[in-house]
Copies of this chain bind each other. A is one copy, B any other.
Amino acid sequence: MANVLKTDLYELSMVAAYLESGRNPVATFEMFVRRLPRHRGYLVVAGLAQVLEYLQGFGFDQDELTYLRSVPALSGLDDFFFDRLAQMRFEGDVWALPEGTLAFAGEPLLRVTAPLAQAQLVETFLLATVNFQTLVATKAARVVEAARSRPVVDFGSRRAHGPDAGVLAARAAYLGGCAASSNLEAGRRFGIPVSGTMAHSFVMSFEKESDAFQHYVQTFDSDATLLVDTYDTKNGARLAARLGPAVKAVRLDSGNLVMQARIVRELLDEMGRQDVKLLVSGNLNEQRIEHMLGKKAPVDGFGVGTEMVTSQDSPSLDGVYKLVEIEEEDGSKSYPVKLSASKATRPGAKNIIRRFDRRNKMLSDLVVLADEKSVEGQQIMVQKMRRGKMIGPDESLEKARERTRKGLSALPPRFRRLRRPETYPVRHSQALSKLFEDNRRG
């Protein structure tokens, strides 16, 4: 319930005018992305679980209605409007790409078919949820790919767009392939493994670095990771190496990480501590990780923060939610086409058919009308809700994460490149193209 006002005022203004008009058709909206963010060859879809949770709980409570009555733009509306809001639940159908599915520009990520007012009101929350989590899951997949099977841990909470964005970013990053997150609430809420060590301030709070290390190792006597670059990195690493088998790893967080990693690795090896892993963090992203590993930096794992959780190089996903089909109460259908500027929308409820070669590598996608029959390939959109009720059980985050992994291994490398990837082929069926042409106006 507490999420229903996390929406734009105009969703409610439009609903008021729909009610005034006396029409109550069933509308189909689709969410899609017109263009992929810069340097992205694919999207990893994420956020659907939160969307479904929201739709199941959709409704206005008394406090929310009291607030709405106080909004100047709405206060002139009569009780009919507020009574209708009070009764409203989400009673629609939802089709979607399951979380972790790879998607491309122009493909529906989500399709909602519901009484027009309901389908309209949920727009803002759906977009905010799927745009953000898909953005971060996609970024994380790139970072994880760059790390070439070394674990990547999300450290980004402090630079996420607020404390709640940190929790959702941790979820999306895990879904995109990260091994763990530092965020405890993400651990509690989503069962994500949590990970973390110590900050420079911890070391600085003791008189001597060796005191800090000793107390830490005494506290975590079976598994301690020590941050060794607070003062002199070689000294720090040497101290850590002497503290026995409890020390499982050391972390570097500043300076020239390639050079520092080599120095520390060599020192640890000389001291017979080949068992101690070397983790690095500090302003990392997919390019810097690729660079480090290209230089053969002896790194066993990465902590990645700001750049991943804000998708720094491309910090928004411009997903839109567009009306594609209207069914009047008499069963007649219409297919709206907007023609202004460059923002034309393809009408019609759609599905996606994905085609694979014999070795199970992705070949191309075909966007078809939802009711098109006998098209060869795998239909990848799945119905998640029918008349407001969930179909089947909730999906585990682990399963979605596994879907990402499998999807990426099925996508040929030229579409996964970190810079200037090729454009994966997405075509429209003849029936879909014909519907567009038939419904153009102007």
Chain A interfacial positions (CB closer than 8 Å to B): 3, 5-10, 12-14, 16-18, 20-21, 23, 25, 27, 29, 64, 67-68, 71-73, 76-77, 116, 120, 123-125, 127-129, 131-133, 135, 155, 157-169, 182-185, 187-188, 193-202, 204-207, 211-212, 215-216, 218-223, 229-233, 254-255, 306, 310-312, 315-319, 321-323, 326, 334, 336-343, 441-442
Residues of B within 8 A of A204 (CB): 323, 336-338
Q: B161 to A310, Cβ gap below 8 A? A: yes
Residues of B within 8 A of A195 (CB): 9, 73
Residues of B within 8 A of A159 (CB): 127-128, 131, 316-318
A162-B168 contact in complex given A21-B215, A195-B9, A207-B334, C-beta closer than 8 Å: yes
Q: B205 to A158, Cβ gap below 8 A? A: no
Residues of B within 8 A of A223 (CB): 73
Q: How many copies does the complex hold?
A: 2
Give bound CA distance, A135 to B162, whole Å: 11
20 extra A-B contacts, CB within 8 A, seeds A6-B184, A124-B163, A129-B163: A6-B157, A6-B167, A7-B183, A8-B157, A12-B184, A13-B220, A14-B198, A17-B202, A17-B219, A21-B215, A27-B205, A76-B220, A124-B157, A135-B161, A160-B161, A201-B322, A204-B323, A207-B334, A231-B442, A306-B318
Q: A254 to B16, Cβ gap below 8 A? A: no
Most interface-central of A76, A129, A194, A201 (chain B CB within 10 A): A201
Q: A7 to B254, Cβ gap below 8 A? A: no
Q: B164 to A13, Cβ gap below 8 A? A: no
Residues of B within 8 A of A326 (CB): 205
A336 to chain B minimum Cβ distance, whole angstroms, is 4
Most interface-central of A127, A168, A187, A315 (chain B CB within 10 A): A315
Among B167, B197, B219, the residue within 8 A (CB) of A77 is B219
Q: Which residue of B lies closest to A335 (CB)?
A: B204
Among B18, B205, B212, the residue within 8 A (CB) of A205 is B18
Residues of B within 8 A of A315 (CB): 310-312, 315
Among B124, B164, B317, the residue within 8 A (CB) of A164 is B164
A275 to chain B minimum Cβ distance, whole angstroms, is 19
A386 to chain B minimum Cβ distance, whole angstroms, is 23
Q: B163 to A6, Cβ gap below 8 A? A: yes
Give bound CA distance, A125 to B68, whole Å: 31
Q: A316 to B312, Cβ gap below 8 A? A: yes
Residues of B within 8 A of A9 (CB): 182-184, 187, 194-196
Among B120, B169, B201, the residue within 8 A (CB) of A323 is B201
Residues of B within 8 A of A68 (CB): 184
Q: B6 to A340, Cβ gap below 8 A? A: no
14 contacts between A and B (CB under 8 A): A6-B166, A6-B185, A8-B183, A8-B196, A13-B197, A13-B220, A17-B212, A72-B193, A120-B202, A128-B157, A128-B165, A159-B318, A201-B323, A254-B343
Q: Which residue of B lies closest to A256 (CB)?
A: B341
A71-B165 contact in complex given A127-B158, A206-B21, A316-B159, C-beta closer than 8 Å: no
Residues of B within 8 A of A323 (CB): 201, 204-205
Among B116, B120, B317, B340, the residue within 8 A (CB) of A233 is B340
Residues of B within 8 A of A167 (CB): 6
Most interface-central of A123, A194, A232, A334 (chain B CB within 10 A): A194
